Chain A
């Protein structure tokens, strides 16, 4: 990421943010216009749709991870490692089995979305009861439980998948392996709407989030309604994770990668800076990564697989670092 070198100089957070924003706009423009072979109208529409979904996913994942780390007071947690992606996929399978393949395919996108989000939010709230019982000691156990729960859910999904009839399994496969290239229009619309309301929420509450990151005790004594705020944030996280999974399928470690880069580079602990910084970094990593994969190295692979490798190593390094200190 050579573009980020000037950020290491002694610059104010606002300048860093602006620099990053300029970089990401340049990269997006490059992504849209580089090496156009077909007609411009077609290329722009094709790449534009892909770009929009990447931008949305980058923002969703970065923000949800940052918020999750803030409320859980732990810097190696990410919501997607806790089995939420697996849950999303399982919900798809069960819906297909319950309503049947043909009705699933013509099921209203909005209805589908409402079912997914309500189940995931419910699950998140259930888990949060467990999470905040004594977060300091049992956090490692909680992560492991989340990971195993994820394995458990995806095994159940494997079982359900095997028990489907062939027409159902074709539809299911399509639902599991959504990729950047083909997000349904309805989903993009809902996502934009979510993004807007999310921004409004974060704009109103970013001061409170700063206080929240000081810990439960401090937050209480500074007059924050702790449990209410965390519950709201958790619901927001569930929605964001659900949306990003619905758009592109599971990407486990992107959030972790991006949020840690943001901690290092943003030069501020305020959510006013951190949130947009992480979000833009998320977009940058996705778009730049996709661009490099497609045009520079011309690699025949999926970006998500590369991100899994890199992010996994980062995660491991973080754990080892934490264990040592």
Chain B
């Protein structure tokens, strides 16, 4: 029994475990303090809706930070693309599907320009995206100087609608089956290559069971209310796709190499230009997607949408363990970091702490999280 427990301990990623336990702890504490309102279906749904934008931004921001850069423009870019979408659809009567497609392409191209400026002109990303932050906020404030209403039903549905029950169950089944399939496929391929398994079989089964139970609880809670918020599904898809890109594509590996040591990556034949431009392009495209989610939520474009969202995204990545020096960071962990921040905010609102005090507490939590991280690393470094 003892050796099995040791095996389990060695196989767990301590950071993931710690953050999951922390998340549960936060939710439970606030649940008690608020008289049991946290775990209500309506509040869990609210929690997911509140976390979506920051979490999607943190997915892209993880890549940016891993590459050794930073992107301060994403909040303002979100605002700009949201406002322009509303303008195209409502004021210029453009077909909504065309408008959204154009905005997504524009988002990608604007990001590519960031990347090109950073690489070819050697301007630090901080400076390029700071300029973007200021300029795009100006564009947003001009385009949406009077709030632009958004009336397109399917756009409003993204942030305001929920999945019907049958769809929720299908999604749950897809999640559980995918986790099982991925585990089996990975073990098969390691076996075929005559390589040792990373973890013993029973630990993998335990992981599958735990993930299934968590997904089951969340989905059933949401189903007992109005269903799963559609934007949460957008977040899930974005996180899965980008995690796949990070771990299984050459581009993903190159980004980690460039962030780890840019010159070593260059001397290994990796194209710094292509990969830098692509990383920034993807980030701003994700910001554009978040812009559309935001105008969907408000059914309108306002001049201050997305304000300061980049800082929350960066905080999420840092809490999730991404190193600001580049070369390390995990997308799933950044999303978890966003969830932790959102659950603290959500809990504080439930027990009536005012917004100003919330900001003080959140700022302290961020510094505390990094301090804890540095303290735990101290033991590992010689």
A interacts with B: no
Partner-A contacts on B (CB < 8 A): none
Partner-B contacts on A (CB < 8 A): none
